[in-house]
Amino acid sequence: MVKCTGRTVPAPHSPNPCPRSPPRPTLQSRHTMPAAVEVRNLNKRYRSGTWANRDITLTVERGELLAILGPNGAGKTTLVRQITTELLPTSGEVRVFGLDAVSRPNDAKARMGVIPQETNFYFGLSVRHHFRILGKLRGLPPSTASSRAAQLVSDLGLDEHQDKPAEHLSGGLRRRLLVGIAMLAEPPLLVLDEPSVGLDPESRRDLWDLLRDYRRRGATVLLTTHSMEEAEALSDRVGIIHDGALLALDTIANLRAAHGFDFKITYLADGRTRVLYGASDTELLQQVQSLGIREYAVSRTTLEDVYLGLTDGKGRLNEEQTADD
């Protein structure tokens, strides 16, 4: 008699009475899983002839929070609308969890929750009924839709407003409602276009906490923002977009290091505030002392410094520039 251990049961008449259990996925095999979002050589040209996106290539890894940073008109919303299948690319490729978002838009969109800039509501419905009805439309059982509605009302601080029609909500409360709608079915990917617009500072930080918690539970978050503070507070990596082109994509620390300027000294000269950049604070101190500057402030460079350096047309931080420029 042969004793087999493990859960694998041999098939009838199997030549091997004790087949091995299937191997567990290795770290390497997990890494071969498709990324949450893959964008390759993406271009979008409108009928007016304007190029909104130019040859954008980026990857959003599973479980990360990626922020796309840029000013209004930089091409952030156009990029997001192509990822969420609302716009067709002029050329290029978009994949969501390995699915071609152009040829299989419904399958791709079923895996994401989307928060657009524009608010679209059923204005006669209350907050609570929005969650319940839209939860059912996303395929949630009625009991699950009700429990998710109650949880989101609490998480988003909407308890006092849950019975108000959407038309009676302030702009900030409508943004919170949009966030809740996107999270209803707990999709593996959240795509948010300027999610904190219209929120007061306290509500903005509550939203950030909610997004961090959602990411910690294994979800992927892609957001656009023009706020340096928001990008620094939330992101694992930051993509900088300007004039429709993706200029850089990396961690904030790596973006600073890539330009060789980790520190800056701010000082007054000829009645203007000036900034001197350098690889070390010691190097900078030697420079200001050699210039005879007595009053100055030393600090680490910020994401704003990196952004201004990349968008000045030279692709790097200037060694010296005026803070007023």
Q: What are phi and psi of 183, to 5 degrees?
A: -90, -5
252, 269, 299 — which closes off a domain?
252
DSSP, res 126: B
Q: What letter represents residue 53's amino acid?
A: N
pTM: 0.78
pLDDT in tens, 40-78: 999 999 999 999 999 999 999 999 999 999 988 999 999
Q: Which of residues 277 and 192 earns the better pLDDT score?
A: 192
Range of the domain at 70: 35-252
Q: Over the range 90-127, which residues count as b (16 or more CB within 10 Å of their CB) and which as e?
A: eebebbbbebebeeebeebbebbbbbbbeeebeeebbb
| CATH number for position 171 | 3.40.50.300
- In 104-196 the beta strands, taken as DSSP E runs, fall at 112-115, 189-193
For residue 246, give both structure tokens: 């993706």
Q: Looking at the predicted structure, is the pLDDT value of residue 138 above 60? A: yes
Pair (84, 101) in one structural domain: yes
Worst-scoring range by mean pLDDT, 22-36, 74-88, 125-139, 243-257?
22-36
Is 80 within the bounds of a domain?
Answer: yes
Is 223 within the bounds of a domain?
Answer: yes
Is 117 within the bounds of a domain?
Answer: yes
Pair (113, 217) in one structural domain: yes
Q: Looking at the predicted structure, is the pLDDT value of residue 139 above 50? A: yes
Give me the pLDDT at residue 219, please. Answer: 96
Pair (85, 130) in one structural domain: yes
For residue 144, give both structure tokens: 């699950």
Pair (244, 286) in one structural domain: no
200, 224, 252 — which closes off a domain?
252
Pair (245, 271) in one structural domain: no
pLDDT in tens, 191-227: 999 988 878 888 889 889 989 999 999 999 999 999 9
Mean pLDDT of 256-274: 82
Pair (170, 288) in one structural domain: no
Pair (273, 127) in one structural domain: no
Is 199 within the bounds of a domain?
Answer: yes
Give me the pLDDT at residue 119, please. Answer: 66
Cα angle 95-100-103, degrees, rounded to a multiple of 5: 145
Average pLDDT, the chain: 83
d(CA 173, CA 196) in angstroms, rounded, equals 11
252, 276, 297 — which closes off a domain?
252
Give me the pLDDT at residue 294, please. Answer: 82
Mean pLDDT of 117-127: 79
Q: Looking at the predicted structure, is the pLDDT value of residue 284 above 90? A: no
Pair (263, 219) in one structural domain: no
List all residues 6 or more positions away from 24 whose beta carbon is below 8 Å from its beta carbon. none
Is 319 within the bounds of a domain?
Answer: no
Pair (245, 298) in one structural domain: no
Give me the pLDDT at residue 10, please. Answer: 41
- In the chain the beta strands, taken as DSSP E runs, fall at 37-45, 51-60, 65-69, 91-96, 99-100, 112-115, 189-193, 220-225, 237-242, 245-250, 263-269, 272-278, 296-300, 320-322
With beta carbons less than 8 A apart as the criterion, state whether 267 and 247 touch: no
**End-to-end Cα spacing for the chain:** 85
Q: Which of residues 233 and 278 earns the better pLDDT score?
A: 233
With beta carbons less than 8 A apart as the criterion, state whether 80 and 135 touch: no
Is 29 within the bounds of a domain?
Answer: no
Instruction: Give the chain's domain count.
Output: 2
Is 103 within the bounds of a domain?
Answer: yes
Of 289, 296, 292, 290, the residue nearest 273 (C-alpha): 296
Pair (181, 299) in one structural domain: no
Give me the pLDDT at residue 317, please. Answer: 30
The pLDDT-based confidence of 290 (bands split at 50, 70, 90) is confident
The pLDDT-based confidence of 160 (bands split at 50, 70, 90) is very high
Q: Looking at the predicted structure, is the pLDDT value of residue 1 above 80? A: no
Pair (191, 294) in one structural domain: no
pLDDT above 70 coverage of the chain, percent: 85
Is 5 within the bounds of a domain?
Answer: no
Q: What letter represents residue 320's amino acid?
A: E
Give me the pLDDT at residue 27, please. Answer: 34
Mean pLDDT of 299-303: 85
Pair (63, 201) in one structural domain: yes
